[in-house]
Copies of this chain bind each other. A is one copy, B any other.
Amino acid sequence: MTMTIRDVARRAGVSVATVSRALNRSGPVREETRRRVEAAVRALRYRPNSTARSLITRRTRMLGVLLPDLYGEFFSELIRGLDEAAQAGGYHLLVSSSHDNASDLEAALHGMHGRVDGLVVMAPKVKAEVLEDLLPGNVPVVLLNSPAGERPRDSLRIDGFGGARAVACHLAAHGHARIGIINGPAENFDAQERLRGYRAGLAEAGLAPDEALEVAGDFTGSGGYAGATALLALARRPTAIFAANDAMAVGALSALRAAGLAVPEEMALAGFDDVSSAQYMIPPLTTVRGRIWDLGARSVARLAEAMAAGAAREQQPELLPATLMARRSCGCAPGVREAGERG
């Protein structure tokens, strides 16, 4: 039924080896012979069987992508970046999501064994040492937004630390002395980095740290609502709130509105991520933008390098910049200004 290389060979009056060479340009083939082969290919609508090819070449031209429980735009933007770069390089993406913990991740990695030529792994909740044990040694791996372990790894991350620090500094520059933060999940690496950046920013601005101003959150809208409510209940309220992501900022804004507080006049607010609706919020949300598409595309590029260079290549982390987008919610003037202050 379905055509094989033998059918093409027969039809073109050559051997299968010649067909293979002609199609892959992997050896000398007389021009006229190649024409005959190509004609046969078209006539028979022949499509090489990628499975058979993989079996012998030991390459699948597929890249595995393991992601945690991601919501919203980050996910789609990342996949888009990965996919476009992969396609450009002739690769396909084997995607698996919802791996928050080590055992899920292990199962997923297990399932991808032998199916992929490289792996992009994002597991912000899994500790470095644990991760190191889980990762396979036979294919190159790029880590996304993961903590650095003992040995240097190919890894990429968006500069959460720098972005958060920029937010804190910016808020301080607006004259705020009491700046609260609604944190992400404690075990989440991104959340840790943003918290670290927030603290660094305060220190840089000469502000004393105050643990009461750091409340727990979970990166969801309702978590933001609860976090803001908790902050408002404080005896000594903050005058500005930094939500560790935009989803929480949305919830926080809702809570502030419910409490009758004007933003930014009575309470400044900032988020992180720059989701597409951020600029349409009322007031437009000051936040931090990471280049997520780039994160995906770079991951594939790094994998490609690693695959080309073989095992004896030195691995290293890479930091992608995050940009402060100063809008109304922090107290910045309305208008076109959408600042390019680097984090």
Closest to A283 in B: B257
**This chain: how many copies in the complex?**
2
Q: Is the Cβ of B93 less than 8 Å from the Cβ of A92?
A: no
Q: Name the B residues within 8 Å of A250 (CB-CB).
A: 277, 280-281
Q: Is the Cβ of B282 less than 8 Å from the Cβ of A257?
A: yes
Chain A, 325-343, CB within 8 A of any chain B CB: none
In whole Å, how far is A64's beta carbon from the nearest beta carbon of chain B?
A: 9
Q: Name the B residues within 8 Å of A115 (CB-CB).
A: 50-51, 62, 92
Q: Name the B residues within 8 Å of A95 (CB-CB).
A: 65, 79, 83, 93-95
Q: Name the B residues within 8 Å of A50 (CB-CB).
A: 113-115
Interface string of A96-125 (1 = CB under 8 A from B): 111000000000000111110000000000
Interface flag for A316 (CB, 8 Å): no
Interface flag for A76 (CB, 8 Å): yes
Interface residue tally on A, bucketed by range: 35 or more
In whole Å, how far is A9's beta carbon from the nearest beta carbon of chain B?
A: 19
Interface flag for A15 (CB, 8 Å): no
Chain A, 32-60, CB within 8 A of any chain B CB: 47, 49-52, 54-55, 60
The residue that A96 contacts in the complex, of B92, B279, B281, with Cβ under 8 A, is B92
Q: Would you give 6 A-B contacts (Cβ < 8 Å), ordered by A?
A: A2-B138, A79-B79, A79-B95, A83-B95, A93-B95, A253-B282
Interface residues of A (CB under 8 A from B): 2, 47, 49-52, 54-55, 60, 62, 65, 70-73, 75-77, 79-80, 83-84, 87, 92-98, 111-115, 138, 220-221, 224-225, 247, 250-251, 253-254, 257, 275-277, 279-282, 284
Given A51-B115, A92-B111, 14 extra CB contacts under 8 A: A49-B114, A50-B113, A70-B76, A71-B77, A76-B97, A79-B79, A80-B97, A92-B94, A92-B96, A94-B95, A95-B95, A247-B276, A253-B280, A254-B280
